[in-house]
Amino acid sequence: MPETSSSHAVIVGAGVAGLTIAHQLVQSGRRVTVIERDTFVGGLGRSWHYGAFHFDVGPHRFHTENPRVADFIRQILQEEAIEIPRLSGARMFGKFHEWPLRPSVLFSMPIGMMFRCAFDLLHRPKVEGESFEADILNKYGRTLYEVFFKPYTEKFLFHSPADLHRDWARAGVNRAVIDKRASADTLWSLLKTTMLPKPVETTFLYPPTGVGRFSDRLDEIIRERGGRVVLGAPVEAVEARDGRIVSVTAGGERIACDQLVWTAPMPLINSLLGIEGITLNFLSTIFYNFEIKGPLKHNFQWTYHGGDESFSRVSAPTAFASTTAPAGTHGLCVEFTCRKGDERWSHPERFTERIIDDLVRTKTIDRREDILNVHVEPVPETYPIYTLDYLAQLTRSLKALGQYRNLLLAGRSGRFWYNNMDHSIGQGLTMSDKILRGQALAEIDDNDREFWAEASEAPANQ
């Protein structure tokens, strides 16, 4: 059955991808219903607001080399699109350093480690295989693998790098540096980046009260244009007939649909449609949002922690915009990864004191007495886990779901895609173009996941 301008599109998930697609469809007069399990929009691109304190779900800022995506962001945020500089950091060898790394990091390394890294420059192993471990060893050598990549990965993902696919490196490590002059994809390029005469200057867009404002504005526009956004409605059933999705039941309401755009986690729709035997797992995260008295000690927007700290990354909202906290205070968002259902997830309050101890020990804050308040926020399905067999599992899932002609998978969770907000926006714009041209949803490519490719090959490059 061909789709028409009167077709009803149901979009599951009010994250950045889903809202972008919904916005484009309602702007063209299409009938749209967005369904969201939470009581707020934004997904992983939302912001928390506690009075005058504002926190994002980890560090977010808008950056893209795609002009259409940049124009869309400015169109939605308008005067709220504030330009900010890049200020990232890493804590290594007991000290805080700028990222990209500067020459000062070399003087923080133990002398023996410096010699081992020098040896690795000339004698890196040639490790065969598709694993993250093999990729890192071939690019950076064994020393950096042992002192940083391996412990950080095990702390962050609860997996050995040997059990992860190399796509985790391509997605996470290669895109950690934005400017092409500051490459970090080999030990040689990392050294050259460290020795650059000055840090790369890159600007970003950021709203005064957090990135969630972008999703809030999309929500407002969708409703103004006649679209429906249903919040607090987890999907309970998906009904299919003759190779098409005919309805979605969410929050006790059955909603008939002509098209279904799915941006919720892929394993959920597999389960609802009775597709079995496919294993695709997500990491979840507990966010500890601290309200703190006094000025920020380290003016980094976010800092990676690769040592024995209990957390993996800390972001500072006031380093993005001073308007995210009252004068004389600042906030810190501490990321504590977990598996949904484990002790961390079930009892996050048990780890608060340990996290505070580590903040003081690493000199991220001066005294625990400076903490005014802490808000503990569990967020499920924050990162796809790229195990060695994930591509085979994902291919099986896409093939099984591809039999439904009016189903489209989109976004970070819906496509098991480790991406940025900018990629989701670019994807949403491209997909909505194809939907509006009348292309069958099942024919819109679900395998275009090479977000680490050149800018000319990807919707947005970060």
| One domain for residues 138 and 164 | yes
pTM reported for the whole predicted model: 0.89
| One domain for residues 372 and 438 | no
DSSP 151-164: HHHHHHHSS-GGGB
Spatial contact of 339 and 284, defined as CB atoms under 8 Å apart: yes
- Let me know if residue 135 belongs to a domain: yes
- Let me know if residue 94 belongs to a domain: no
Which is it for strands 31-35 and 228-230: parallel, antiparallel or unpaired?
parallel
| One domain for residues 289 and 366 | yes
* Total structural domains within the chain: 3
> Where a domain ends, among 194, 222, 255?
194
| One domain for residues 365 and 437 | no
| One domain for residues 261 and 393 | yes
| CATH number of the domain where residue 129 is located | 1.10.3110
Q: What confidence tens digit (pLDDT) does each residue in 161-172 have? A: 999 999 987 776
- Let me know if residue 418 belongs to a domain: yes
**CB-hemisphere CA count at 13 Å for 24?**
21
**CA–CA separation, 290 vs 361, rounded Å?**
16
Q: What is the dihedral of CA 246, 249, 253, 255, to 10 degrees?
A: -20
| One domain for residues 157 and 79 | no
Per-residue pLDDT, 188:
46
Spatial contact of 109 and 97, defined as CB atoms under 8 Å apart: no
Per-residue pLDDT, 317:
97
- Let me know if residue 160 belongs to a domain: yes
Per-residue tens of pLDDT for the chain, all 462 residues? 445 557 899 999 999 999 999 999 999 999 999 999 999 999 999 999 999 999 999 998 888 888 999 999 999 999 999 998 878 777 877 777 766 555 555 556 677 776 777 777 677 678 899 999 998 888 878 888 888 889 889 999 999 999 999 998 777 655 444 444 444 555 445 555 554 555 556 788 999 999 999 999 999 999 999 999 999 999 999 999 999 999 999 999 999 999 999 999 999 999 999 999 999 999 999 999 999 999 999 889 999 887 889 999 999 999 999 999 999 999 999 999 999 999 999 999 999 999 999 999 999 999 999 999 999 999 999 999 999 999 999 999 999 999 999 999 999 999 999 888 999 999 999 999 999 999 999 888 744 554 334 333 333 323
> Where a domain ends, among 170, 194, 218?
194
| One domain for residues 293 and 367 | yes
| CATH number of the domain where residue 16 is located | 3.50.50.60
Per-residue pLDDT, 178:
41
**CA–CA separation, 250 vs 12, rounded Å?**
9
> Where a domain ends, among 384, 407, 441?
384
Segment holding 71, helix H or strand E: helix 67-77
| One domain for residues 170 and 225 | no
- Let me know if residue 420 belongs to a domain: yes
For residue 167, what are the domain limits? 99-194
| One domain for residues 293 and 347 | yes
| CATH number of the domain where residue 333 is located | 3.90.660.10
Side chain identity at 196, as an amino acid letter?
L
| One domain for residues 339 and 407 | no
- Let me know if residue 90 belongs to a domain: no
- Let me know if residue 53 belongs to a domain: no
- Let me know if residue 149 belongs to a domain: yes
| One domain for residues 189 and 126 | yes
Per-residue pLDDT, 460:
32
Q: What confidence tens digit (pLDDT) does each residue in 231-287 have? A: 999 999 999 999 999 999 999 999 999 999 999 999 999 999 999 999 999 999 999
| One domain for residues 291 and 377 | yes
Side chain identity at 59, as an amino acid letter?
P
Per-residue pLDDT, 4:
52
Per-residue pLDDT, 203:
80
**CA–CA separation, 37 vs 315, rounded Å?**
26
**Residue whose entry in the numeric block shows the structure tokens 């994809």:** 185
